[in-house]
Amino acid sequence: MRDVSGRRFGGAILALALVSVLSGVAAIGLAAVSVASVGFGPERCCPAGGPPTRPSPAPRPSATPGPTRAVGLPACIIGSWRVVSETSMVKYYSNADPFAASSSPGKSYEFRADGTGTEKWDNVTYTANSGGSTLRLQSNGSAEFTWTATGDTVTYLARTSVNLKHHWSVPEGESDATSSPNPALNEVDRYKCGATGFEESNDTGYRSVWARTSGYGFYG
Amino acid sequence: MRRGTGHLTEVGGRVGRAISRLGLAALLGLVVVGVGAPAGAAPPSAEERAAAIARPAIVIVEIRWQAWVRDTKTGEVFGGKDGYRIVSSCTGFGVHADGLLVTAGHCVDPGAEGIGRALFGIVAQELAAVGRVGDNNKAVAALLDRAVAEGPEKDSPVSREVVVHRGVRVDDRTVDDPLPAEVVHILPHSRGDVAVLKVERGRLPALEIIDGSDLPVGTPILAIGFPGSADRISDPTLEPSAKDGRISNRRTIAGVPFYEVSAASTGGMSGGPVVDQSGRVIGLVSSAPAGEPQAFNFMAASSLVAGVLRGKEIPNGLGPVDRNYRSGLKQYYAGHHKSAIEYFDAVLKASPSHQQAWEYRRLAGQTPGSSAVPSLVIALCALVAVGTGVVAVFLFMLRRTAAAGGVVGAGPGTPIGPVSGQGFGAVAGPVSGPGFGVPAGPVSGPGFGTAVGPVAGSEWAPESGPDAGPAPGQGFGAAVGSESEQGFRSEPGFGAVAPISGPASGPGLEPTSGAGPLPGPATEPEPGQRAG
């Protein structure tokens, strides 16, 4: 009887001791986990004088206007063009007003960014009717010119050099002629320029429609 | 008396078992509750954590350009009177508290690999509008070949203003804090696509940069940046997008290491950090291949960034504010809100306008959360340890008393004193915890016996010491021997004590208990003394 009760008693002690140990281990372990996970607290930082608590005033673009640059020539005009159709006023008879002549294909232009340009004729034939007769003018050659433009006008300032030959066929016969440079040309034409083409005209009845080509000023 | 003792023993056994069960159950439960997921906190994704870590250091980089484009072959200048005034935006990130940031090189590069290319694109569009372009790509290529971006004079530098925007907390609201930036260094796109900026602002949040370019394919990444148009730059509440993905490939383009990643990125995200799941920079958003329909982008390897910083002796790394913020986040996501608040408060003390610290501190304050391991749990464990220990000792004493009664009754001449003293000492001595009442004490002991150790430690030692003292020399073996006859030695539990107390190498019977390593052949129980 004593042995039995002693055993049971011993079992209780053992159980309690076990719980005590486990609890103690748990307490220590949890404390260690706590320290390990929480750490030793925030790191000390920085002497006084941190960043300002007020944001910086927003940097604005300078009050003074930014630098500027001379405006170039209209990008739309610059480039290479071929004349699709053209009606020019041609004067042949000294005692008669110029008459309208339509041209065949073969004329082209190059308007360069530096304000110079080239006009080329490649067997361009102008045809006109005057008093029931047909007059023809065939032109070959080229001419250099200077130009400028604003929003809706293009001004041909000068015809600086010319290598242009004309051949007239009129009822009275045929003849040849050449053109000469004209430093004081100053021809002002109205123009419309866009992605689809260029149209130029003036009050004399001149009107020309151009299409852009993939030469000068074209970027692929 | 014997009956009573037996009754007590019986009751003590039940109580002990009950306490044991309860204690173990409580321990298990509390450990699970204390260390497991905190109540009320949804487990965040790795991406969310990474984004939260990186967020404070991420800024919008606004670049204001004024430039003209000149065709070097024709001399044609594009841009009109005022030139092209462009505001572009990228993303950047802090690399050092002293106002140092990194973004993509092409974001601030005035050359053909930077804004020049964008300008050429604009010019190409303008030319297309007037019929001077048939194929936009060809036009850009032609311009790249023969055009330059420049300032108001021929060959003069492009005008560039860089402003870094970041949201800061002022007067309980988020405001934009625009900071003019200086471009310290540019590595063009073809050479790595990294730029270093400097702003006059201290304690700028920073990110940690991994100096490597050999991350394995499949590594999860997070590309972070501010997508969208530049007109939203000054919106201080604008939050960056975090696009997750993986490293798809490692490439070397003209000797420069790039990662190919599956994370999507759009305009404005260039220069943004690409971080791993720990919020460390492993690259930066660089570019997308033209015409690629899939989510497929390039990121500059962080080794390039690190190389630039190292080569230019530009400091980088985390500061105390960054570390405290990270610790605060860690605590917050672990549900340890009280601790998190401490860290966030430390951040806010050093950097009062720290938007994210403010926000997370607010969130942490909204819910109670828990400490890493609740103090209550620790205290409870300690209480259980002490309580059960005390009860165990009490029962032991009770038993000893009962045993003494039995011995007395057994016959004259039985050495009661040594029996009880050595019996107790045999448990308490070898265990020898550092002191009674210190919950940690028993744990530091060699094992089972330690539970009793503290109980029998400093407080009990004087009692057990004198008893135990003479025991090794004289009564220990005899006592145990005689006890064994009474069933003492045959206690299965005690039997387990012996091997534990044995290796404790003898100090067990030393009154100066606690010095575990003390050699003590004198206290080594004789073979015959070992229980069962």
pLDDT at B58: 95
Residues in A closer than 8 angstroms to B126, CB to CB, are 75
Residues in B closer than 8 angstroms to A36, CB to CB, are 372
Do residues B52 and B19 make contact, with C-beta atoms less than 8 angstroms apart?
A: no
Give B109 to chain A, closest Cα distance, Å. Answer: 20
How far apart (Å, rounded) are the C-alpha atoms in residues B130 and B133? 8
Summarize the confidence of residues A166-173 as an average pLDDT: 92
Q: Which amino acid is at A16?
A: L
Please return the burial class of B12, using the count of CB atoms within 10 Å of its CB with bins 0-12, 13-18 and 19+: buried
Query: Does B334 sit within 8 Å of A37, measured CB to CB?
Result: yes
| Residue B343 touches chain A, beta carbons under 8 Å | yes
pLDDT at B470: 34
Count CB neighbours of A195 within 10 A. Answer: 13
Q: Which amino acid is at B482?
A: S
- Residue among B31, B38, B48, B30 at smallest CA distance from B368: B38
How far apart (Å, rounded) are the C-alpha atoms in residues B450 and B48? 45
Window 94-113 of B: residues touching A by CB (8 A cutoff) are none
How far apart (Å, rounded) are the C-alpha atoms in residues B370 and B347? 20
Give A42 to chain B, closest Cα distance, Å. Answer: 5
Give A137 to chain B, closest Cα distance, Å. Answer: 32
**Quick one: chain A helix, strand, coil %, rounded to 5?**
15, 45, 40
A52 versus A91: which is more confidently predicted? A91
Q: How far, in Å, are B31, B104, B138, B269, B270 from residue B274 at the CA level? A: 38, 12, 32, 10, 10
Counted residue by residue, chain B has a size of: 532
What is the mean pLDDT for each group of 10 consecutive residues in chain B (532 residues)? Answer: 36 42 42 37 79 95 94 96 92 95 94 90 95 95 94 95 92 89 94 94 92 86 84 75 90 85 85 94 82 68 92 93 94 90 92 91 79 69 84 80 56 36 35 33 32 32 35 33 33 30 32 32 33 30
Report the b/e string of A97-108 with b at 16+ CB within 10 A: eebbbebbebbb
Q: Which amino acid is at B167?
A: G
Task: State both tokens at A87.
Answer: 């009606």
- Residue among B220, B208, B212 at smallest CA distance from B279: B208
In the three-class reduction of DSSP (H, G, I as helix; E, B as strand; rest coil), residue B396 is classed as helix
Q: Which chain A residue shows the shortest CA-CA distance from B34?
A: A30
The DSSP letter of residue A102 is E
Do residues B378 and A6 make contact, with C-beta atoms less than 8 angstroms apart?
A: no
**Cα B347 vs. chain centroid, distance in angstroms?**
16
How far apart (Å, rounded) are the C-alpha atoms in residues B109 and B189? 9
pLDDT at B510: 32
Counted residue by residue, chain A has a size of: 220
Q: Which of A7, A45, A191, A209 to mutate to test the interface with B (most CBs of B within 10 A)?
A: A45
Task: State both tokens at B140.
Answer: 């850009």
How far apart (Å, rounded) are the C-alpha atoms in residues A219 and B136? 8
| Residue B5 touches chain A, beta carbons under 8 Å | yes
A12 versus B100: which is more confidently predicted? B100
- Residue among B440, B68, B53, B75 at smallest CA distance from B279: B53
End-to-end CA distance of chain B: give it in Å, rounded.
Answer: 28
Query: Does B395 sit within 8 Å of A55, measured CB to CB?
Result: no
Do residues A83 and A212 make contact, with C-beta atoms less than 8 angstroms apart?
A: no
Summarize the confidence of residues A140-154 as an average pLDDT: 96
Counting Cα atoms < 13 Å in the Cβ hemisphere of A41 gives 3
Q: Which chain A residue shows the shortest CA-CA distance from B160?
A: A61
Among A3, A17, A76, select the one facing B130 at the smallest CB separation.
A76
Do residues B368 and B337 make contact, with C-beta atoms less than 8 angstroms apart?
A: yes
Backbone angles phi, psi at B529, to 5 degrees: -80, -20
Q: Which chain A residue shows the shortest CA-CA distance from B154?
A: A69
Tell me the pTM.
Answer: 0.66
Backbone conformation region of residue B491, classed left if phi is above 0, alpha if psi is from -120 to 50, else beta? beta
A12's enclosing H/E stretch is helix A2-38
Q: How far, in Å, are B396, B431, B502 from residue B497 at the CA level? A: 14, 9, 8
| Residue B41 touches chain A, beta carbons under 8 Å | no
How far apart (Å, rounded) are the C-alpha atoms in residues A74 and B123? 13
Q: Which chain B residue shows the shortest CA-CA distance from A38?
A: B372
Count CB neighbours of B234 within 10 A. Answer: 15
Q: What angle do CA B415, B419, B420 make, to 5 degrees?
A: 120
Size of interface A-B (CB pairs under 8 A): 344
pLDDT per residue as tens digits for the range B383-405 = 888 888 888 888 878 777 776 66
Give B221 to chain A, closest Cα distance, Å. Answer: 26
Give A78 to chain B, closest Cα distance, Å. Answer: 9
How far apart (Å, rounded) are the C-alpha atoms in residues B332 and B326? 10
Dmax over CA atoms of chain B, in Å, equals 129
Q: Which of B7, B20, B87, B204 to mutate to test the interface with A (most CBs of A within 10 A)?
A: B20
The C-alpha torsion from A26 through A32 and A37 to A43, rounded to 10°, is 160
Q: Which chain A residue shows the shortest CA-CA distance from B450?
A: A21
Summarize the confidence of residues A97-124 as an average pLDDT: 94
Q: Which of A2, A16, A38 to mutate to test the interface with B (most CBs of B within 10 A)?
A: A16
- Residue among A92, A104, A76 at smallest CA distance from A195: A76
Q: How far, in Å, are A82, A108, A142, B130 from residue A136 at the CA level? A: 21, 19, 19, 35
Do residues A157 and A44 make contact, with C-beta atoms less than 8 angstroms apart?
A: no
Return all residues near A157 (Cβ < 8 A) that are at least 6 apart: A145, A146, A147, A148, A185, A186
pLDDT per residue as tens digits for the range B185-241 = 999 988 999 999 999 988 899 999 998 777 889 999 999 999 876 566 667 778 898
Return all residues near B420 (Cβ < 8 A) that are at least 6 apart: B400, B403, B404, B467
pLDDT at B230: 58
| Residue B532 touches chain A, beta carbons under 8 Å | no
pLDDT per residue as tens digits for the range A129-141 = 887 889 999 999 9
Query: Does A220 sit within 8 Å of B139, measured CB to CB?
Result: yes
Among A43, A58, A214, select the one facing B324 at the smallest CB separation.
A43
pLDDT band at A177 (very low <50, low <70, confident <90, very high): very high
Give A173 to chain B, closest Cα distance, Å. Answer: 44
pLDDT per residue as tens digits for the range A157-168 = 999 999 999 999
How far apart (Å, rounded) are the C-alpha atoms in residues B131 and A75? 10
- Residue among A9, A159, A168, A146 at smallest CA distance from B2: A9
**Quick one: chain B helix, strand, coil %, rounded to 5?**
45, 20, 35
| Residue B319 touches chain A, beta carbons under 8 Å | yes
pLDDT band at A14 (very low <50, low <70, confident <90, very high): confident
Long-range Cβ contacts of B175-182 (<8 Å, 24+ apart):
B175/A55, B175/B236, B176/A55, B176/A58, B176/B234, B176/B235, B176/B236, B177/A55, B177/A56, B177/B236, B177/B353, B178/A55, B178/A56, B178/A57, B178/A58, B178/A59, B178/B62, B178/B234, B179/A56, B179/B99, B180/A56, B180/A59, B181/B61, B181/B101
pLDDT at B313: 93
Task: State both tokens at B258.
Answer: 């790039």
Do residues B437 and B408 make contact, with C-beta atoms less than 8 angstroms apart?
A: no
Q: Which of A23, A25, A84, A114 to mutate to test the interface with B (most CBs of B within 10 A)?
A: A23
**Which stretches does DSSP call E strand in B137-178?**
147-150, 159-165, 167-170, 173-176
Q: Which chain A residue shows the shortest CA-CA distance from B142?
A: A219
